[in-house]
A and B are shown apart, each in its own frame.
Chain A
Amino acid sequence: MKTKVPLIHSPPYKISVLNETALLVSFGNLIDTAINDRVIALHASLTRDPFPGFIESVPTYASLALFYDPLQVRINRAPHASAADFVESIIRQRIRSLQAEEGSVHKNLVTIPVYYNGEDLEWIACQKKLTSEEVIAIHCARTYRVFMIGFLPGFAYMGAVDQRIAVPRHAAPRTKVKAGSVGIAGSQTGIYPFDSPGGWQLIGQTPLRIFNANKNPVCLLAPGDEVQFISISKEKFEAQYEHPGS
């Protein structure tokens, strides 16, 4: 369970201009759970209680982009002043009230079965002086937070991976990684939602379709979710396989 950290002062942050329709709120440049909590809490607050002219917000590891329509903002609130200034004042207010929000962010625990047969599994074991079974056991031993989704529709950046199995990505990315492949890049772990080029070290494959355009929601994972990987056999993998065709 997450403990609520009382914030006596607002956390340090910086607001900059991404462009004339988006401001960027940056809480740092780190992969850090406490920082990511603030990003996701701010995203939740804006999404739940949008202001006139708000379009959407995009949470990432340590920063959030807030997209708005300057024309709508001006019509509704500040006909002659700059929409950016007005939106900035809203962000500052929201961040001040984040303390109450932070503990209330709902987090799902999602279990993801993986058939650990990845092309890089043995290489990682060899590098780290472990057996493949130990690499699998370490990968399954903890839950991971979905820090953010990006790169591809539904690609969840998760962490942090145990340092005993953390390996850098391939210098030359593979031209095709199969949809469902589970990989490691540094202290991050992730799942490819589509066949795509990719440089992550592949340890296995999930039979689940983590992105499905015809489903609601389209993504199995959302920012802030917790993920538990479990190891499954080849037979179970084949029985549970959800990907179309290929």
Chain B
Amino acid sequence: MSIRVLKQGILASVQSLPRNGYRHLGIGSGGAMDAFAMQVANFLVGNEEDATVIEMHFPAPEILFLEDALISLAGADFDACAGEEPLPAWKPCFITKGSVLKCGKPVWGSKLYLAVRGGWEAEQWLGSRSTHLKVAAAGFRGRTFQKEDVIGFANQPAVSGKQISGWNITVPGLPEIYPEENRIRCIRGPEWSLLSEISKEAFGKETFAISNQSDRMGYRLTGSPMNQDQPVEMVSSPVDAGTVQLLPDGNLIVLMADHQTTGGYPRVASVLQADMPALAQLNPGNRFCFTIVEPRQAEEALISSKQNLQAIKERCLRYYQKHNPH
């Protein structure tokens, strides 16, 4: 039970939940860039949230299914097809042996997640199966996919195509998670006060664009340069995904999943974890504005996003329990 990579695409890797507990050794949490889409992809095929998915960037790999499989796609819209058949995102799909999954063009977003019932076979390292590219550990051989790779999946689908065709699984609330108007909420960071008054003013008003120098480590932003009243030399201190750092040239960088654990640049803001999926789906050239909120609102937003995920999970799993009591 496996798939074979016919064309490698770029940066396709096995991802899952973050790896916690090793940041003090310089090992970041990593995991899927869009943790919402990653988890929902799993729920749609009846998996737990920590099952492995394939994170695809565009151009995505071409994948031959060597066995029937129950799969789901979530996140970006890359115009995915199995043969001539379009594969809709955000719902379970039955794919037959010999089908080739291809992605035609990037319609919306930048990270597409492919889940399979039972999860993809992957190596675990330090408590997570998420690929760590720098250390070359976990996931599929610690690296991105290459042509001819064969990736196994754990279980045969215990659910048939006929069964799922009658299911009406929908994922509500997508427009709230990926709003059309790109407003990314953030809170002020520990070094917000180092920004000049003019920059503080501009921060919430300016439009920023994702630059070409953006990857799984961080998104560099372009826009009017920000400045400090008095540059302060900082000793290295912890950072996290979503931390917005002010670089010496006045540009901002938002740290993403594969960020370093520590940094020496002023942390002027922090993107809400609840808004990281929307940010993760932006492409180079896309523009957005920051909206500053208070820490208490950030905590409430995180709690509601976790509760929302839990509700989606329960809704999806009910279908699987009903049809497969064991």
Q: Which residues of A contact B (CB under 8 A)?
A: 16-22, 24, 26, 29-31, 43, 55-65, 67, 70-71, 74, 82-84, 148-155, 157, 194, 211, 213, 217-219, 222-223
A-contact 0/1 string along B239-272, CB 8 Å cutoff = 1101100000000000000001111000100111
Please give me the residue from chain B that is nearest to A70 by CB atom.
Answer: B299
Complex CA gap A203/B132 in Å reads 30
For B108, the chain A residues whose CB sits under 8 A away are none
B308 CB to nearest chain A CB (Å): 12
Q: B21 and A55: CB pair below 8 A? A: yes
Instruction: State whether A60 touches B273 (Cβ < 8 A).
Output: no
How many chain B residues touch A (Cβ–Cβ < 8 Å)?
45
Considering the chains assembled together, what is the distance between the CA atoms of A29 and B270 in angstroms? 20
Chain B residues with CB under 8 Å of A219's CB are 25-26
Given A65-B238, A148-B262, are A19 and B270 neighbors across the interface (CB < 8 Å)?
A: yes
Among B92-100, B146-154, B229-237, which stretch is in contact with chain A? B229-237
Kindly list 17 other residue pairs between chains A and B, CB separation below 8 angstroms, not including A70-B303, A71-B303: A19-B242, A20-B273, A20-B301, A20-B302, A22-B240, A24-B190, A30-B235, A43-B24, A59-B24, A60-B238, A65-B237, A71-B306, A151-B262, A152-B26, A153-B27, A157-B236, A213-B136
Which residues of chain A are within 8 angstroms of B105 by Cβ–Cβ distance?
none
Question: Nearest chain B CB to A69's CB is how many angstroms away?
Answer: 9
Within 8 A of A (CB), among B186-243: 187, 189-190, 232, 234-240, 242-243
Name the interface residues of B269-326: CB closer than 8 Å to any CB of A: 270-273, 295-296, 298-299, 301-303, 306
CB distance from A88 to the nearest CB of B (A): 11
- Cβ contact of B25, chosen from A24, A67, A154, cutoff 8 A: A154
13 contacts between A and B (CB under 8 A): A19-B187, A20-B302, A24-B190, A58-B23, A58-B24, A61-B235, A61-B236, A63-B238, A149-B26, A151-B260, A153-B27, A154-B26, A211-B135
Query: B237 contacts A61, CB within 8 Å?
Result: yes
B303 A62 Cβ-Cβ under 8 A: no
Is B125 interfacial (CB-CB < 8 Å)? Answer: yes
CA distance A189 to B15 in the complex (A): 35
Flag if A56 contacts B24 (CB, 8 Å).
yes
Name the distance in Å between B234's Cβ and chain A's nearest Cβ: 6
**Total cross-chain contacts (CB, 8 A):** 140
Q: A19-B270, A30-B235, A60-B235 are in contact. Are A152 and B134 (CB under 8 A)?
A: yes
Cα(A29)–Cα(B136), bound, Å: 34
- Contact in complex: A21, B273 (CB < 8 Å): yes
Q: Is B159 an interface residue (CB 8 A)?
A: no
Indicate whether B10 reaches chain A with its CB closer than 8 angstroms: no
* B20: A residues at CB distance < 8 A: 55-56, 67
- Residues in A neighbouring B267, C-beta threshold 8 A: 18
B126 close to A (CB within 8 Å): yes
B137 within 8 A of A: yes
A192 CB to nearest chain B CB (Å) = 12
Q: How far, in angstroms, from A218 to B127 measured CA to CA in the complex? A: 13
CB contacts (< 8 Å) of A17 on chain B: these are 187, 190, 270, 295
Chain B minimum-CB-distance residue to A214 = B137
With A17-B295, A19-B273, A149-B24 in contact, do A62 and B235 touch (Cβ < 8 Å)? yes
Q: A18-B190, A83-B299 are in contact. Are A153 and B240 (CB under 8 A)?
A: no
A107 CA / B301 CA spacing, docked (Å): 41
User: Which residues of the partner chain A approach B135 to less than 8 Å between Cβ atoms?
Assistant: 153, 194, 211, 213
Interface-centre pick from A58, A150, A223 (highest chain B CB count, 10 A):
A150
Do A194 and B303 form a contact, CB below 8 Å, given A65-B240, A149-B26, A152-B260? no
Residues in A with CB closer than 8 Å to B240 are: 18-19, 21-22, 65, 67
Per-residue contact bits, chain B 59-98, to A (CB 8 Å; 1 contact, 0 not): 0000000000000000000000000000000000000000
**Interface pair B136/A62, CB less than 8 Å apart:** no
A217–B24 Cα distance when bound, in Å, is 13
Provide the bound-state CA to CA distance between A91 and B235, in Å. Answer: 22
What residues of B have a CB within 8 angstroms of the CB of A24 in the complex?
190, 237-238
User: A137 vs B180: C-alpha distance in the bound complex, in angstroms?
Assistant: 63
Chain A residues with CB under 8 Å of B234's CB are 29
- Find chain B residues with CB under 8 A from A194 CB: 134-135
What CA separation (Å) do A26 and B193 show in the bound complex?
Answer: 15
For the complex formed, measure the closest distance between the CB of B194 and the CB atoms of chain A, giving whole angstroms.
11
Known: A20-B302, A57-B24, A213-B125. A64 touches B190 (CB 8 A): no
B24 contacts which chain A residues (CB < 8 A)? 43, 56-59, 149, 222-223
Contact present for B126 and A218 (CB under 8 Å): yes
CA separation between A12 and B135, bound complex, in Å?
A: 38
A155–B236 alpha-carbon span in the complex (Å): 13
Name the CB-closest residue of A to B299.
Answer: A20
Q: Contacts A18-B243, A19-B187; is A58 near B302 (CB within 8 Å)?
A: no
Check A213 against B25 for contact (C-beta < 8 Å).
no
A60 with B299, Cβ < 8 A, contacts A17-B187, A19-B187, A223-B24 known = no
